[in-house]
Amino acid sequence: MTTFTFGQKGESLASEAHNAPAPSMVGTSVITLDDLSIEQIRELLDKARYIDTHRKEVAHTCDGRVLATLFYEPSTRTRLSFETAMLRLGGKVIGFAGAQLASVTKGESISDTLKTVSNYVDVVAIRHPKEGAALVAADAASVPVINAGDGGHMHPTQTLADLATLRSRFGRVNHLTIGLCGDLTFGRTVHSLIETLCRFGDVRFVLISPKELRTPQYVLNRINATEDCSYVEVSDLSEVIGDLDALYMTRVQKERFFNEDDYLRLRDTYILDAAKLALAKPDMAVLHPLPRVNEIAKEVDDDPRAAYFEQVRNGMLMRMALESSVLGDELPGFADHENKEVMA
């Protein structure tokens, strides 16, 4: 079994949250989480926690606002989460799901679509199969654009959900050994999470994948550039699962493969079942961005270490926090609540 050691213990987010005021997010497009400061991310985590216990108070925060969900790629959870977030804040939603429903079928560019849609709405969430499409959209739009996933590049709001889940389980997002397992080449959620955790520091990454689906070099470079973060690459989940504080499972994504034979050969490489989970720490958290295929056995769902449906809830709460923040719509009672937390 591999052993991992730490330097100085990381502080909890709860104790760090009020060290510095977060700059305003009004009008900010979020293409990667590098577009937000650490203070802003902490504030979003605090807002999401507040929203969860003050649903009625925040129900009219975004009255009169309209969100456009422009999904050029199929999605269930992410699109519904963005839409539900705006509806729960009192706003409205327009959009499309599937490139076949957009004017792209007539030859319209992303840029022209965003320039048009900006006249209708206050904020846009966009998903696109091409890396960099969200940045093109943000450059063209006159309203904030939130990246809901662009190819194999980034998925910042899923990372916010992941951070919220880690925080709820451990009280912090650093001083952890985190295993990421499965498709680490095309998994945009993996890339976003690693890069963001490096900003918090003091994280040990265990990268578990077949050689065909290893982590891209630019992501490894980010870890190497962070003084108190490190990684190991392994192929055997059973060998390292006992060392992990959190295990982030991912599916092998059929839509990213050009050769179906390669997909069929690799799709069942890692399956987390009760037998493997028995090797893990009793308080380890199992995360998954969903949808799953068969990489997590259904028998794991009832284990208290399963946190992936908790991630779904946290994703909606974090998107509520983000949408209201980029619009500049203050959550009723949040400022007073935070002041009381500081005084306490």
Same domain assignment for residues 204 and 291: yes
Residue 56 is a catalytic residue: no
Residue 155: active-site member:
yes
Active-site residue, selected from the candidate residues 42, 49, 79, 127? 127
Residue 194 domain-assigned? Answer: yes
Whether 78 is in a domain gets the answer: yes
- pLDDT computed for residue 260 by the predictor: 61
100 annotated ligand binder: no
- 198 and 138 in a single domain? The answer is no
Given a cut of 70, the residues of the chain with pLDDT beneath it are 1-20, 99-106, 152, 253-267, 340-344
- Among the listed residues 47, 128, 155, 319, the single catalytic one is 155
Residue 6 maps to a domain: no
Give a yes or no: residue 237 inside a domain: yes
**Annotated binding residue at 250?**
no
The 10s digit of each residue's pLDDT in 140-150 is: 999 999 999 98
Vertex 173: Cα angle to 21 and 82 (nearest 5): 75
CB 78 within 8 A of CB 157: yes
105 is in an annotated binding site: no
* Residue 157 confidence (pLDDT): 96
Q: Which of 77, 174, 188, 74 is nearest to 131 (CA)?
A: 188
pLDDT attached to residue 187? 84
For the question of residue 127 being annotated catalytic, the response is yes
Confidence at residue 1, expressed as pLDDT on a 0 to 100 scale: 44
Among residues 32, 61, 69, 78, which one is catalytic? 78
Q: How many domains does the chain have?
A: 2
Catalytic residue among 56, 106, 211, 340: 106
The answer on 219 and 137 residing in a single domain is: no
Note whether 80 and 192 are same-domain residues. no
pLDDT of residue 14: 38
108 and 184 inside one domain: no
Query: Which entry of 18, 77, 214, 337 is annotated as an active-site residue?
Result: 77
Q: What is the pLDDT of residue 15?
A: 39
Instruction: Say whether 155 counts as a known binding-site residue.
Output: yes
Residue 9 lies in a domain: no
| C-beta neighbour count of 100 within 10 angstroms | 9
With tokens 């790629």, the residue in question is: 73
Q: Amino acid letter at 196?
A: T
Please indicate whether residue 49 is annotated as part of the active site: no
State the alpha helices, DSSP H only, in 178-297: 188-200, 217-224, 237-240, 260-266, 274-277
298 is in an annotated binding site: no
Shared-domain flag, residues 292 and 172: yes
Answer yes or no: do 58 and 148 share one domain. Answer: yes
188 is in an annotated binding site: yes
Q: What is the pTM of this model?
A: 0.89
Say if residue 21 carries a ligand binding annotation.
no
| Burial classification of residue 164, based on how many CB atoms lie within 10 Å of its CB (0-12 exposed, 13-18 middle, 19 or more buried) | buried
Q: Show the domain range for 219.
A: 156-311
Instruction: Identify whether 339 is part of a domain.
Output: no
Q: Which residue in this structure is represented by tokens 């890396």? A: 131
Task: Give the pLDDT score at 253.
Answer: 60
Query: In this structure, are residues 71 and 100 in contact, taking their beta carbons and an 8 Å threshold?
Result: no
Per DSSP (E only), the strands in 167-304 are 176-181, 203-208, 230-234, 246-249, 285-287
Report the pLDDT value the prediction gives residue 20, as an integer from 0 to 100. 66
CATH of the domain at 32: 3.40.50.1370
* Residue 187 domain-assigned (yes or no): yes
